[in-house]
Structure 1
């Protein structure tokens, strides 16, 4: 198993398939983009599948989520999903995407064995979308959501980040829209993971503010804390249920004590925390002929050293050198 010194077991693996993205969200990266990883630095499809196999068969991982960058930009995505779906025991397979291109590939992903998707959408207004992402692709995201639902990649979850003075007024509208379409909405506090290192806590829309805005239109009842488990989102029943809305308050209400995640970057580095400042290199071990047992031992050692928490409230907190697009969501 992947245990740390605080008794937490990592059963949820986040696998970044690429650091590239076809949007330029203001809270993630600069308009000109970033210096992308070279082809030789990226794990091959076969290397990804082998590492996922080690995680599932040797280390107790039960859930695998493919992320990016934008994972739909990975040419071998469908084949990777299909290979991971054949592992025994079979892990739960999901994907986090910006939704662009999902309309054309949703059915193929479902057929390959993908169970569900999370799609990022911060606004219902195409003009605000263009302001936030620097791209005019709003309708593509809506089409992707509809295609995911039609393909059976359910429940379709929608992730939204609110930016003060830009889209923070849209919280109730986003929830009403998701309720009408049967999507599960999760608001995420903006985290210090931007490439520009320009995150300002005073400008972050907090979980408390999000709930206050939602409360102007909906009656919210907290779900029992036991129902949350290791899930990052605190959930509230909307108008008595059964529909719910979640808030992932990584900054103001950290959930580190229940964290069950381990992360693999697109270039084969293990990160034991989203905010870790160090990594463990599995790619070199792979390419130098390391056995599954040797790679598993490296992975266990990486997780054993996991800190108690992310430490965002610590005065000495240092933002990770890699931005979110290079770490994986």
Structure 2
């Protein structure tokens, strides 16, 4: 696959970020609000490599109703303390600051965002915000468990679309991968999303070697039959058990090889900042995507920033440190001071995630505690 252009890595000063608990012995001190606040009117969130950040991913909870093998150990992980979690008011305030800085899309993630009881209120609050380009687009990444009961209310509140995890169509394989017997519930949730108009419904699939890799053509056939958009994602080193190994990961090229045993694929031009490289299936108009974060990174066009459920700002999915917004906000920081902290975090963003560099270390937080 073609590799997007990316700035040449160069030595950079250590960013001033608040370390996660497991990384405090190596990270620098937390930022302060001593610098004069920057007006939101001074322009969008741009880093030193001229990447404009328009996409905010907000994790609503670190809890999940599944225990997928590539994400969590079977017994789960210690959850974030309830007192550290952002309230609805706090979450909406930080989202509003981000919107004032040029964010145009907010993706709600987890853990599993549907486990948050105030999910409809969160969606409604963000959907009511007006950004620099008009109303904010609100989407969600979910495992779809319980979506059959919530889909219409979420759509009415302003949710526009969903990305749903679906790794297999075989009940026994679902039990093996998710450690829960919930395939039927997942499929019901997917249908409910489509019926509620949360379209295009996008399906996210992680292939594991000798587990579900042979299902790639069947999963694409399922998506094409029902009008869903399928995207395969390379397994990334973000599992809580730190069991990821490059040698066992199925690459984007392997995924495409599996698909080409049943379909003709041709590249879709003008990828932009999208994480998925898309391909027309049998001439189109239907497409399939491959997100090859490890073997074909797209850091050079990244426009994403992440806010964790406990109020920590992360300028990269694989960042070793994070900026604390919750503490200064609770201590009385103004919106302008919080906006400056957003700018400081983005200003410290590195040119790439470094997965393929010597000395790469997996982030202390797993994906379930970061948000996708």
What TM-score does the superposition give when structure 2 sets the normalisation length? 0.87
Matching of residues 1-329 of structure 1 within 5 Å: 1-57=44-100, 59-89=101-131, 90-224=135-269, 226=270, 228-329=271-372
Tell me the CA shift for residue 294 of structure 1: 0.2
Which whole-Å CA distance do the structure 1 matches of 2:242 and 2:258 have between them? Answer: 28
Tell me the CA shift for residue 167 of structure 1: 0.2
> For each residue in 1:106-150, what CA deviation from the matched residue of structure 2 results, as whole angstroms up to 9, or x when unmatched?
000000000000000000001100000000010110000000000
Which whole-Å CA distance do the structure 1 matches of 2:129 and 2:236 have between them? Answer: 34
Q: Secondary structure at the match of 2:52?
A: coil
Which whole-Å CA distance do the structure 2 matches of 1:176 and 1:88 have between them? Answer: 39
Q: Secondary structure at the match of 2:96?
A: helix
Higher Cα Rg, which structure: 2
Q: How many residues align?
A: 326
> For each residue in 1:161-210, what CA deviation from the matched residue of structure 2 results, as whole angstroms up to 9, or x when unmatched?
00000000000000000000000000000000000111000000100000
Which whole-Å CA distance do the structure 1 matches of 2:157 and 2:188 have between them? Answer: 20
Which whole-Å CA distance do the structure 2 matches of 1:131 and 1:19 have between them? Answer: 22
What TM-score does the superposition give when structure 1 sets the normalisation length? 0.99
Tell me the CA shift for residue 88 of structure 1: 1.4
Q: Secondary structure at the match of 1:317?
A: coil
Which structure has more RCO (C-alpha within 8 Å, separation ≥ 6)?
2
Q: CA RMSD in A?
A: 0.5
Provide runs of 4+ in structure 1 moved above 6 Å.
none
Which whole-Å CA distance do the structure 1 matches of 2:108 and 2:328 have between them? Answer: 22
Tell me the CA shift for residue 219 of structure 1: 0.3
Tell me the CA shift for residue 10 of structure 1: 0.8
Structure 1 gap segments, 5+ residues each: none
Which whole-Å CA distance do the structure 1 matches of 2:139 and 2:364 have between them? Answer: 27
